[in-house]
A and B are shown apart, each in its own frame.
Chain A
């Protein structure tokens, strides 16, 4: 720590624990350039690199360890941080300044404890039997999955937040599930008696048995099942599998052994800078105790990580940890539960309450207000969390309540009340995951961001749990307006309309040509010609609505060259030709035809990422002949040139693969044939994997489908390419019909509402309400649009015709494929050379 160190003698920083908070700290350190000053080594006991524990349960609904990982597998290495996975620290030797593992001793100058917590297993005789498990790590979930294989029933001990999540997971594994809770109600920390009753009803409706007020005395061999649980009143419950979820305890054994100051109920005591009683050692996350509290949520952990980084890298900002709000909003087994501040009203002297209970709709809301009735000190929600955001703003910012406070929890025909963005103070937290305030949003706008997407990119707001998207959007809109930024969403100078508005006009008025549209709805100064922005956009809209051949005379001038010539123009003016190969399945004789055609027309061949074959270097005038031969052999156009469905990539599936659980190729072919020819705001790619190994990389596609034992999981809005984005799970275990109906609706809703050239991923980022909104519309049909979207898709499907087959039978349409109107010579400027046995542009 002295200045006498030579420049390259960096300080040694060791972080124990590669969990969510430890990883966040590493990210922050890297971002701040801390690797210049520190040699950083991280010890992680688990097999996996840090992963998203908050979404752990999705491991059972199709996600794997890789997709839950918080970073790429080479992230640490690339950034010069040493990660020692599967190496548990067993001792801290403070005198020597070393940590000890089975493999060796490592010196440190600064040490960070980020060891998290472990699940508490109540001291019940028999709790160490086989098939008595916990729910915290990926390995735990593997063990549960394995134990569930020959089980039919499962019990979760503990009816708190994590217990209910575990119960849902057991249910998903097809076990008859029961929850046993010691307290007289479920989620005793978050809800009161009324709320707990409602929650019980809702959860029992889902087929989960709820036993409250039960203390387990012992666990012994069962008669009909593997275990028998004996309760305080001698009643018994038999089950094959038990998961304990009775709270968590800090993993503080290392700190205790080296005599750091401990909290009364465990945990390592830290100050505002996350320093422990030994100033060379810091602690963050669930192992740390601050002001007598342990924070069992990831948000406060992240804040501690930031404070710890500020402590290690003194300078610009003296960020400290000053406690955190434990308010939460969750969806447990599809049931909304929210809890804000002093939800029970037992920490605020003289607190008064408002309560609303609807036993028909199964909703319960409670507000706790200060004794003078002016401020909100807490709130509790069961059944409908749409009231949460507004209540949270009143609570968090100490805003004065409206004259009629009850209106904040009473049902109203307009839905939950919202708080105007202008009423929020600059300090109001908009996104608690990334700690973004209204002032941060304003700063991003002042620095040039002009839309929601840009503000998200700048501030990261709303990229965590996404719960604040609606609020963020209203703040962004309001602030843009306040700055007089007229957000001009016109598609181009020829239409003072957005793509969505044009789409609605075309559909409602049944307009079928560009000339009619621009005559009726074009901007006044327009000459009626349109341009290369609006024409292809309108062509795509017309095709989505009516699916007439794009080569019809009235549509031809609208298309991009690729659509006009139904091939992809390459840099020397020649084209590439890609016939459809549905699902990537191709017979040997068709493969031979592709080879023969390529040979005859001197085409360069390459296998594409979408599992088909691209033939490059076709001359304009050869396209009709090439297609004549391909169509005769049974090929169809592959729409590689269009903003439309490209490919449905698949793995080989259960037909051949030892691991496959469904016929992924069959499904891919079916889907590709269903949606081929659908024109959309941008290209669309699908993937279908036959099991969770995910060999088809479906989670990087606009629509990804992964087979499960019980059906199919549907993922949406993924992307590879320039801005990779994992697709998100929209629905699980669907049968084929339900899935196809859901995809119909999803695609049509996208086609209807997206901007031009907006991929599904960007569309979803900008969509108010995000994934939940998509789910509401396409799965729960909240807008009542379902049938209409389906029937629109049916129109597109019914009117499908291979564009090339349509064109080559019409001499009028082939006119355009002449190289020159007055000379049949090919263009002499196209010059090819040979490379690796094929031709390429010279």
Chain B
């Protein structure tokens, strides 16, 4: 899924840019949840906002595969050896925001999407 997205060239993505919310809806250095439409149907994503960092916006699955609850957006954001991560609020596993991989268990990964600002709007590329 994420490989497919990654292969789409930038210029063509306009068609699939879904606006989700405004900048004011974001919570600095923390997460919020949103619904998106994907090819497989609706999905819940967790959106994190790190103002002032190289990459400011991240989107990963909101669904936590360890607890099967939709809670990832409510985890604490931090970094491990410089890589931004979110800690699941239930059993505390860490997921890298860049690629969704789990620090404690490399057989598990969250899906990731690309987010960007258009003016004050925040949208996702699907």
CB-nearest residue of chain A relative to B30?
Answer: A557
Do the beta carbons of A815 and B27 come within 8 Å of each other? yes
If A565-B74, A573-B69, A816-B32 touch, does A556 touch B82 (CB 8 Å cutoff)? no
Q: State whether the Cβ of A346 lies closer than 8 Å to any Cβ in chain B.
A: no
Select which of B25, B29, B70 is within 8 A of A827 by beta carbon. Answer: B70
CA distance A830 to B63 in the complex (A): 12
Interface flags, B54-65, vs A, CB<8A=1, else 0: 000000000100
Chain A residues within 8 Å of B67, by CB = 571-573
Do the beta carbons of B71 and A821 come within 8 Å of each other? no
Do the beta carbons of A569 and B74 come within 8 Å of each other? yes
If A531-B76, A571-B69, A815-B25 touch, does A827 touch B44 (CB 8 Å cutoff)? yes
Chain B residues within 8 Å of A620, by CB = 74
Do the beta carbons of A557 and B27 come within 8 Å of each other? yes
Chain B residues within 8 Å of A536, by CB = 76
Q: State whether the Cβ of A529 lies closer than 8 Å to any Cβ in chain B.
A: yes
Do the beta carbons of A573 and B71 come within 8 Å of each other? yes
Q: State whether the Cβ of B90 lies closer than 8 Å to any Cβ in chain A.
A: yes
If A821-B34, A827-B44 touch, does A532 touch B71 (CB 8 Å cutoff)? no
Q: State whether the Cβ of B115 lies closer than 8 Å to any Cβ in chain A.
A: no
Q: State whether the Cβ of A530 lies closer than 8 Å to any Cβ in chain B.
A: yes
CA distance A572 to B91 in the complex (A): 12
If A553-B28, A557-B30 touch, does A529 touch B79 (CB 8 Å cutoff)? yes
If A527-B82, A557-B28, A573-B70 touch, does A819 touch B75 (CB 8 Å cutoff)? no
CB proximity of B123 to chain A, nearest CB, Å: 11
CA distance A558 to B50 in the complex (A): 13
- Which residues of B26-56 have CB atoms within 8 Å of chain A's CB atoms? 27-30, 32-35, 44, 47, 50, 53
Do the beta carbons of B78 and A822 come within 8 Å of each other? no
Q: State whether the Cβ of B126 lies closer than 8 Å to any Cβ in chain A.
A: no
CB-nearest residue of chain A relative to B74?
Answer: A561
Q: How many residues of B contact A (CB 8 A)?
A: 36
CB-nearest residue of chain B relative to A620?
Answer: B74
Chain A residues within 8 Å of B35, by CB = 820, 822-823, 825
Chain B residues within 8 Å of A819, by CB = 33
CA distance A629 to B30 in the complex (A): 28
Chain B residues within 8 Å of A556, by CB = 27, 30
Interface flags, B73-116, vs A, CB<8A=1, else 0: 01111111110110101101010000000000000000000000
CB proximity of B2 to chain A, nearest CB, Å: 21
CB proximity of A167 to chain B, nearest CB, Å: 56
CB-nearest residue of chain B relative to A539?
Answer: B76
Q: State whether the Cβ of B6 lies closer than 8 Å to any Cβ in chain A.
A: no
Q: State whether the Cβ of A637 lies closer than 8 Å to any Cβ in chain B.
A: no
Chain A residues within 8 Å of B50, by CB = 529
Do the beta carbons of A529 and B71 come within 8 Å of each other? no
Chain B residues within 8 Å of A697, by CB = none
Chain A residues within 8 Å of B90, by CB = 569, 571, 573
CA distance A380 to B71 in the complex (A): 66
Q: How many residues of A contact B (CB 8 A)?
A: 39
Select which of A534, A557, A569, A820 is within 8 A of B34 by beta carbon. Answer: A820
If A560-B76, A569-B90, A571-B90 touch, does A529 touch B20 (CB 8 Å cutoff)? no
Q: State whether the Cβ of B21 lies closer than 8 Å to any Cβ in chain A.
A: yes
Do the beta carbons of B29 and A822 come within 8 Å of each other? no
CA distance A194 to B56 in the complex (A): 78
CA distance A525 to B94 in the complex (A): 19
Chain A residues within 8 Å of B85, by CB = 531
CB-nearest residue of chain B relative to A563?
Answer: B76
CB-nearest residue of chain A relative to B63?
Answer: A829
CB-nearest residue of chain A relative to B76?
Answer: A532
Do the beta carbons of B89 and A526 come within 8 Å of each other? no
CB proximity of A30 to chain B, nearest CB, Å: 38
Chain B residues within 8 Å of A576, by CB = none
CA distance A526 to B50 in the complex (A): 15
Do the beta carbons of B92 and A532 come within 8 Å of each other? yes
CB-nearest residue of chain B relative to A812?
Answer: B24
Most buried by B among A525, A556, A560, A561: A561
CB-nearest residue of chain B relative to A819?
Answer: B33
Chain B residues within 8 Å of A493, by CB = 80-81
If A569-B89, A816-B32 touch, does A557 touch B20 (CB 8 Å cutoff)? no
Do the beta carbons of A535 and B76 come within 8 Å of each other? yes
Q: State whether the Cβ of A216 lies closer than 8 Å to any Cβ in chain B.
A: no
CB proximity of A97 to chain B, nearest CB, Å: 61
Do the beta carbons of B77 and A561 come within 8 Å of each other? no
Do the beta carbons of A561 and B27 come within 8 Å of each other? no
Do the beta carbons of A820 and B44 come within 8 Å of each other? yes
Q: State whether the Cβ of A564 lies closer than 8 Å to any Cβ in chain B.
A: yes
If A557-B27, A820-B34 touch, does A535 touch B78 (CB 8 Å cutoff)? yes
CB proximity of B62 to chain A, nearest CB, Å: 9
Do the beta carbons of B89 and A529 come within 8 Å of each other? no
CA distance A830 to B90 in the complex (A): 15
CB proximity of A810 to chain B, nearest CB, Å: 14
CB proximity of A522 to chain B, nearest CB, Å: 11
Chain A residues within 8 Å of B47, by CB = 821
Do the beta carbons of A561 and B75 come within 8 Å of each other? yes
Chain B residues within 8 Å of A573, by CB = 67, 69-71, 90
Do the beta carbons of A530 and B78 come within 8 Å of each other? yes
CB-nearest residue of chain A relative to B50?
Answer: A529
Chain B residues within 8 Å of A558, by CB = 76
CB proximity of B104 to chain A, nearest CB, Å: 13
CA distance A823 to B34 in the complex (A): 7
- Which residues of A470-498 have CB atoms within 8 Å of chain B's CB atoms? 493-494
Chain A residues within 8 Å of B71, by CB = 561, 569, 573
Do the beta carbons of B76 and A557 come within 8 Å of each other? yes
Most buried by B among A561, A572, A821: A821
CA distance A620 to B71 in the complex (A): 10
CA distance A586 to B25 in the complex (A): 39
If A536-B76, A573-B71 touch, does A561 touch B89 (CB 8 Å cutoff)? yes
Select which of A526, A820, A821 is within 8 A of B79 by beta carbon. Answer: A526
- Which residues of A506-544 have CB atoms within 8 Å of chain B's CB atoms? 525-527, 529-532, 534-536
CB proximity of A575 to chain B, nearest CB, Å: 10
Do the beta carbons of A572 and B69 come within 8 Å of each other? yes
CB proximity of A82 to chain B, nearest CB, Å: 46
If A571-B69, A572-B69 touch, does A822 touch B34 (CB 8 Å cutoff)? yes
Select which of A527, A562, A820, A830 is within 8 A of B33 by beta carbon. Answer: A820
Select which of A527, A565, A816, A827 is within 8 A of B27 by beta carbon. Answer: A816
Chain B residues within 8 Å of A561, by CB = 71, 74-76, 89
Chain B residues within 8 Å of A531, by CB = 76, 78-80, 85, 87
Do the beta carbons of B74 and A564 come within 8 Å of each other? yes
Chain A residues within 8 Å of B21, by CB = 821-822
Chain B residues within 8 Å of A822, by CB = 20-21, 34-35
- Which residues of A817-836 have CB atoms within 8 Å of chain B's CB atoms? 818-823, 825, 827, 829-830
CB-nearest residue of chain A relative to B69?
Answer: A573
CB-nearest residue of chain A relative to B29?
Answer: A557
CA distance A556 to B82 in the complex (A): 21
Most buried by B among A535, A562, A830: A535
CA distance A269 to B69 in the complex (A): 71
Select which of A525, A530, A557 is within 8 A of B82 by beta carbon. Answer: A525
Chain A residues within 8 Å of B92, by CB = 532
CB proximity of A530 to chain B, nearest CB, Å: 5
Do the beta carbons of A532 and B81 come within 8 Å of each other? no
Q: Can you offer 13 A-B residue contacts whose CB atoms are under 8 A? A: A526-B79, A531-B85, A536-B76, A557-B77, A559-B76, A560-B89, A561-B74, A561-B89, A571-B69, A573-B71, A816-B30, A821-B47, A829-B70
Contacts A532-B87, A557-B28 aside, 14 further interface pairs with beta carbons under 8 A come to A493-B81, A494-B79, A525-B82, A529-B78, A532-B94, A535-B76, A535-B78, A559-B76, A569-B74, A571-B67, A571-B69, A821-B25, A821-B33, A829-B70
Lowest 5 CB-CB distances: which A-B pairs, in order? A531-B78, A573-B69, A561-B89, A557-B29, A532-B87
